[in-house]
């Protein structure tokens, strides 16, 4: 079943929308959640929460790309679960390495207004559109999908050292771009 038909099922409030979404994107969403959480049970729970969130937000939203919409929901829920699981009072406080790498070029938005966070997101999107396709895919693979350097190198037939250098240079250009846009780290 195609994405538009699944979205139509959500709009009709037909419960088969969840079953169809799971059949089409379940393994993708589970893989994404497991990369973040490193725990299958928590990942499965986040994927189930994704379907509930989709049910509650479609309608009124009508996503243009269902896989990206569900992926964003899963990623946000997984990161929220990770923060919960690794809270300082639980003895954790760790951040996944890829997100820690971005800490040097993206300002902390903890105390920002929602509009400021949206502007930061728009600035990052604009920067990503300026990158050559390979650099863009490598960057998104590392910092959105949280792939390891080794996995990225294998996927794009590159040496690990080339991937590391590409990411380092891209982070530097991102930092300069954000500073030019008025964001400071």
Give residue 112's domain range: 98-180
Q: For 110-142, write each residue's pLDDT tens digit.
A: 545 555 677 888 888 899 999 999 999 999 998
Domain boundary among 55, 90, 125: 90
**185 within a domain of the structure (yes/no):** no
Mean pLDDT of the chain: 86
- Domain with residue 72: its CATH number is 1.10.1740.10
Q: For 31-51, write each residue's pLDDT tens digit.
A: 999 988 888 999 999 999 999
pLDDT score for 88: 56
Of the chain, the percentage scoring pLDDT greater than 70 comes to: 87
Q: In sequence order, which ranges of 86-155 are alpha helices (DSSP H)?
A: 97-102, 114-130, 133-143, 149-155
Structural domain count of the chain? 2
- Domain with residue 112: its CATH number is 1.10.10.10
Q: For 90-105, write each residue's pLDDT tens digit.
A: 445 445 667 677 777 7
Residue 183 contacts residue 123 (beta carbons within 8 Å): yes
Q: What is the dihedral of CA 31, 35, 39, 42, to 10 degrees?
A: -70
Instruction: Tell if the pTM clears 0.75, that is, is over it.
Output: no
Residue 138 contacts residue 166 (beta carbons within 8 Å): yes
| Residue 162: burial class (beta carbons within 10 Å; 0-12, 13-18, 19+) | middle
């Amino acid at each position: 079943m195609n994405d538009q038909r699944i979205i139509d099922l959500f709009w009709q409030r037909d419960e088969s929308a969840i079953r169809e979404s799971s059949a089409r994107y379940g393994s993708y969403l589970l893989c994404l959640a497991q990369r973040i959480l490193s725990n299958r049970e928590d990942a499965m729970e986040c994927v189930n929460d994704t379907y509930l969130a989709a049910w509650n937000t479609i309608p009124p939203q009508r996503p243009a790309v269902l896989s990206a919409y569900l992926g964003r929901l899963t990623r946000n829920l997984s990161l929220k679960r990770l923060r919960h699981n690794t809270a300082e009072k639980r003895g954790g406080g760790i951040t996944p390495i890829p997100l820690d790498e971005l800490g040097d070029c993206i300002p902390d938005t903890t105390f920002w207004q929602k509009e400021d966070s949206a502007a930061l997101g728009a600035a990052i999107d604009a920067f990503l559109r300026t990158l050559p396709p390979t650099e863009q895919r490598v960057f998104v693979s590392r910092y959105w999908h949280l792939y390891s350097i080794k996995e990225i190198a294998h996927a794009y037939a590159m040496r690990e050292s080339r991937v590391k250098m590409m990411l380092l240079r891209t982070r530097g250009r991102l930092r300069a771009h954000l500073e030019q846009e008025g964001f400071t780290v």
